[in-house]
Structure formats: structure tokens, C-alpha cells
Amino acid sequence: MSSLNDMALRKLAELEAGSLRRRLKETDRKAGAYVERGGRTLISFCCNDYLNLAHDPRVIAAAKSALDEWGASAGASRLVTGNHSIFAELERRLAQLKQTDDCLVFGSGYLANLGIIPTLMKPGDLILADELSHSCLLSGTQLSGATAFRFRHNDMAHLRELLKTHRAGANNCLIVTDGVFSMDGDLAPVPEMADIAKTHDAWLMTDDAHGIGVIAEGRGSSFAAGAKADVPLQMGTLSKAIGSYGGYICASQPVIDLLRTRARTLIYSTGLPPASAAAAIAALDIIETEPGYAALPVEKAQRFTRALNLPEAQSPIVPLVLSDPETTLNASAFLEEQGFLVTAIRPPTVPDGTARLRFTFTALHKDADIDRLAELVRTRVLDKRAAE
């Protein structure tokens, strides 16, 4: 056993030396944008609950009622006895929002991508992924055994070049991208990608974990240009702006039927707790009836980028790249002392040399708090760096 511990200790020491060790810190989330950590109340600028719906009384009431009716767990895989009636309603609602035939809900967004991609793709097929795609898209790609290449971030010329070189030698081809990039906050050029995919007989899959609920009246990045872009595979999560938990894919009837039958992370994993599904439905009700509320996180992010002369925010996510992990950790610790929680994001979550503060904005952030944070960042993080 000691060789096992030795290995773990050696790896931890290496990570520590590079300021790359991670630790879990107990942080209790409260209503609004507040969290409690170490006995202090902080204003969080790093939650993905963009609409603060996790604490919305209507969402909580829906979850409680489902909890009372169906209990705390689904009890089995959905294909055995875990398919509570509420899942059908949730899937109908998501398909409606995304304008597709049908939808399939998974235990989480990560599980969805691990199930979807290997069901659709196999050795002999080709997958082209934006280099900044979320980890679970890349893991799903690896699991599928298809030949895979990454194209430079949002670089459509590079995507076209890879298709020219590799498409003809492959059977089927899938193009995958985040709709809203999780660590950068920019959007993929979805309509252009849809055109490129069509030209090369490729299938486009967008991961809209950070788009649903907050972009284009809550419909997500496929609708950012107005009309729905032709995206046959719209995947996302219920764990961010929807304020609950779970993953989904919206697609055509045959695709969803195939995934229901074959996706391993659906078949061999327990269904979502019914209360999570009920919470998600209540959240969708709010998003669909209050588009002005759904627009707030992006507006708040834009207030921040304007104050700092940063490129205008396209989503609720604003990165501030400080490059090295130690500087970023120090900046994060400084902001925490000042009452703001802004987590340092380090490799391998982001590429080497691009450690950053990642600010996320939520509907209930107060303008005065955003202004105070911007002022602190300008005077104590950016000016300090410029002086060095």
C-alpha cells in the first residue's frame, strides 16, 4: 500500500510546487448572490446559477412537492423503474424551448456527453472539436474511439481546412463545440458552423451549458442570431441557469429514440431525483414568462466589462486572464478579503499560461456591488500588474 500513498504524495507535491493543487472549501450558498465561507458572508461572482433560481421560492416549492410525492431518489435506472412521470413533462418542455422533436434527460451534463457521443460515433468516424470545448465533450470523444482533431478556438478557416483534409476518409463526421465557452464567455459562431457542417455532411453538436436560460430569451446559443440555427444536436445542463441538476439533449425523434436505447450513461445510471426534475420545470416556467429577468445576467456582465474597458460581455461569464497561477490565486485571495468570491481558474481547466479570474454575473447582483468590484479590480489587480 505504501507505493500507492507514495505515488499520491509525489503527485500532490508536484502540483503544490506549481500552485496547481486544488482544495475543496466549505462554502454554503444563500439566497441571492451570497455565500458563507469560514464564518463570513461573501458576494459570489463565481456561481453558475445565473438566474439565482436555485433559491427561488417557486422552484423550491416545486422541488418540495415532488420530494413529498416521489421521495428522494429515482430508485433505479430510468429504463428499469426510475422513469418518474415528471421526466416526460420535463423533456417535453425542453424540446419545446429548443424547437426539436424530442429531448432526453440524463443524470448530469457530464454524463450526457459521455453517453451521447459514443452512441453516435465509433472508430472510422471523425470528430472535430473546438480546442476550448468542455472536458466532458473531449472525454465523450475519446470514449467513442473515433478519430479526433481539435480546431483552433472559433477559427472557421481551420475547421474548413480539417474537413477538407480528413472528411473524405471518414465514415460519419461530428463537429462539437461549446455554444457559450465556459471559461471565456464568448459564443461559438453557431450559424456559420451549421452551414459548414451541412456543406461537408457533418453533424453539429453544441453544448449549451452556459447558454440555456440566459441567451436569446433563454433559448440558448442556437438562437443567438435570431432564428434557430440548424443544430441537430443541442445539448446542455439543468445545473446552471436552470438552478437544478441534470443534463439533456434535444434532437430529432430518431436520434432521441436511439439514445434512449443505447446511451450507456442513461441505461446504467440511476435516473435523476424527481425533485430535481420538478425544480427544473418550475425554473423553465419562470424563464419563459419573464424574458426580461432572463436577460439580466448578460446586462450585469456588460456593466462590469464597460467599467473596466474590457471587450463587451456576450454572456454572463467574463474572464480576466492574469497568466500565471500564483498571481491569479493571490488576486482571488485579495478579492475574498474584500468580501468578493471570485475563484482562480488554473490549468488544466484552461490552457497553460492562461490562468484567470473568471467572473460570473447573476440576475440578483446589485449594480453597486458590481461597480465596487470593478473599481477594486481596476485599482488593485490591473494597475498593480501594469506597474510590475
Ligand X SMILES: *Cc1c(COP(=O)(O)O)cnc(C)c1O
Q: Is 240 a catalytic residue?
A: yes
What's the Cα-to-Cα distance from 219 to each of 4, 17, 148, 282, 292, rounded to whole Å? 48, 43, 29, 16, 13
Q: Does 234 bind ligand X (CB under 6 A)?
A: no
49 is a contact residue toward ligand X (CB under 6 A): no
User: Is 107 or 274 the residue whose CB approaches ligand X more closely?
Assistant: 107
Chain residue whose CB lies nearest ligand X: 109
State the minimum distance, in angstroms, from the CB of residue 371 to ligand X. Answer: 28
Q: Which of 165, 157, 167 is nearest to 200 (CA)?
A: 167
Task: Give the ranges where 147-295 is alpha helix by DSSP (H).
Answer: 156-166, 190-199, 253-262, 264-267, 274-289, 291-294
How many chain residues interact with ligand X (CB under 6 A)?
13
Q: How far is the CB of 205 from ligand X (least distance, A)?
A: 11
| Residues 6+ positions from 243 with CB-CB distance below 8 Å | 49, 51, 52, 53, 54, 55, 56, 59, 279, 280, 283
Smallest distance from the beta carbon of 210 to ligand X, in angstroms? 6
Please state the closest distance from residue 112 (CB atom) to ligand X, in A: 7
β-pair type (40-44, 340-341): parallel
Active-site entry in 210, 228, 300, 365: 210
CB nearer ligand X, residue 129 or residue 197 = 129
Chain centroid to CA 87: how far? 21
Instruction: Write down the catalytic residue from 98, 134, 200, 240.
Output: 240
Interface residues for ligand X in 131-150 (CB under 6 A)?
A: 134, 136
Q: Are 296 and 360 in contact (CB under 8 A)?
A: no
Rule CB under 6 A: is residue 175 a binding residue for ligand X?
no
* Exposed/middle/buried for residue 230 (C-beta within 10 Å: 0-12, 13-18, 19+): middle
Residue 210 interacts with ligand X (CB under 6 A): yes or no: yes
Q: Is 209 in the site for ligand X (CB under 6 A)?
A: yes
Q: Which of 237, 327, 343, 362 binds ligand X (CB under 6 A)?
A: 237
CB of 322 to ligand X, least distance (A): 21
Given strand 40-44, what is the order of strands in its sheet?
A: 28-29, 34-37, 40-44, 340-341
**Which residue in the list 108, 182, 222, 315 is annotated as catalytic?**
182
Which of 50, 63, 97, 109: binder of ligand X (CB under 6 A)? Answer: 109
- Alpha-carbon dihedral 53, 57, 60, 61, rounded to 10 degrees: -140
What residues make contact with ligand X under the rule CB under 6 A?
108-110, 134, 136, 178, 182, 207, 209-210, 237, 239, 247
Q: Which residues are annotated as catalytic?
A: 182, 210, 240
